[in-house]
Structure 1
Amino acid sequence: MQKDPSAEHPFDAFRALLAQMPSASMESVEAVRARDIKLTKPPGALGRLEEIVEWLAAWQGRPEPKLDRPTVVVFAANHGVVAQGVSPYPPSVTAQMLTNFSAGGAAVNQICAVNGAGLKVFELALNMPTKDITEAPAMESRECAATIAYGMEAIAGGADLLALGEMGIGNTTVAAAIYHVLYGGEAEDWVGRGTGVDDEGLKRKADAVRRAVALHKDFLDDPFELLRRLGGREIAAMAGAILAARMERTPVLLDGYVVCAAAAVLHALDPASLDHCLAGHVSAEGAHAKVLEKLGKKPLLDLGMRLGEGSGAALAIGLVKAALACHQDMATFDSAGVDNKDA
């Protein structure tokens, strides 16, 4: 790989954390399974709901998992690549949508309210978009590292389940560029219509991805370098949030196409780095289904959504709550006076 003499590499601390990630608590999983076989149902009758409870227990490290503070965290950023005509909306919409979040008017606000989840939204220097990736690296190395660190700090506060979301005009283009590098194929394989580009816009989007990857191709073997050259601030922050959640033993629900770009960077560094994550849903955007296959994640929901905002992951919180309620509150055969099959 050609060495970029201008690049700095302040990512060593994150590499060290990846080498120190805690493992799943199998003792907690066994405790969940021991209770499950006593519940008034045939073994396995709740399907993936049973697996969800085991996942919660494994990563919370609790034989009796809890969901007292599920939290949706949305990171918002702007992108210089918008100048290439890749979105029908201007970058000003990012800030306007944040105002909408604050006023409680977005879809994710309603979903969080229904599911009893908290919502935190973080603005990442919207007035200073990342550089146009078709012309220059999106971020300097130290800027990217600082944004990853910010994402790690942003999730502090004791959430027992984290759902990640994003907002940023142009961010499906940078996500597509990341996937194109990691998974190959043609640029057209990874781009989608985002916020609704027409056919000509879709061509401009694929062309922007192709030109960006060609410009930076000699420097993309390191996933951190890929992130800082072709990513965005929200993607860097989400990568940090996923890593911090792992260190804090907080299970994570991934949202759609853009959130999974952050996950894909970590997965390229160490596939085990996503073991504490479930895919909340499969998006209708671009090639998200193919991305989930690459990440080894089977989505919990498939509703044809492509909104972003963390909306799909927020919806999946309700499913996780239902799974845990069944595990915690169903009667056992003994308490209900129901004959078990071994009786």
Structure 2
Amino acid sequence: MQQTIELQAVVPDNLIGKRLDQVLAEVFPDYSRSRIKEWILAGCVQVNGMVVDKPREKLLGGEAVHIQAQLQEQQQHQAEDIELDIQFEDEHILVINKPANLVVHPGAGNQHGTLLNALLNHVPDIGAVPRAGIVHRLDKDTTGLMVVAKTVPAQTHLVTQLQAREISREYEAVVNGTMVAGGIIDEPIGRHDTKRTSMAVRTMGKPAVTHYRVKQKFRAHTHLRLKLETGRTHQIRVHMAHLHHPIVGDPLYGGRPRPPKSADETLRQFLRDFRRQALHAAQLELAHPVTGEWLSWQAPLPGDIQALLAILAKDNQEHEQD
């Protein structure tokens, strides 16, 4: 599957003396610098009718530039008829409410049944967009809102917003332990020394900042609202575990269930059976990549987290009466 891209422009005078790749990135901001460089090296760019395949070539201003390139799917994946909970869709973007137990992108052991497979079925042309338009990810068992780009220009603009920290993402989580107040976690995250699939707070890791506030306190748990300033792998899960308040049910960072003292067997069993991180992407806000309109979506907590909060609240009430 491929799409033909054809772009034309005249180099403005304010870009006189700049390199070809810099000029094209300025003139065609819908496409990333790395993609433009690939097109130049592949001989897809003409300047005044002549192919120029050197990104560092200097331009004098006034030249006619022409790009004709093919966007090809980088890896063949199978389209699969998997139901999507679509919150918003137009010709540029798609916002979905991801359920638990859905892997976002195919990988080792997960070649089928992923969000990417579902997207290829729902939007066949999305195969020509890198990573099928996936701009950011949620872990397999994290639920909630994700935005997907349906075109390369939309993806370029969304990635730019994400890198500039202009996309707002808020989460809700239930963590172990009673937290007194909200705060900010500013701790770098990197790959764990010995556990290949885990991340950890590391001095030499990438900067990671999470804001959190308390929504509700229980006897031995806390319901939090969190906002990401950065988007590192497993960021909220790692940061909360670092504070010794891991997310309930987290199989990687959470450890064993921690019921409150004198909890009844119903609550104890519920916590034992809750085997995914109680983490939900509840709100997503961004500027539309084409119109610039500021958009916002909210997704209610899924049923299992609502049930968790209800049973913890019931435990609170019963012990307040003691």
Q: Same fold (TM over 0.5)?
A: no
Q: From the CA coordinates, give the structure whose radius of gyration is larger.
A: 2
Higher share of residues assigned helix: 1
Identify the structure with the greater strand proportion. Answer: 2
Structure with the larger RCO, 1 or 2 (CA within 8 Å, 6+ apart): 1
TM-score, normalization: structure 1?
Answer: 0.28
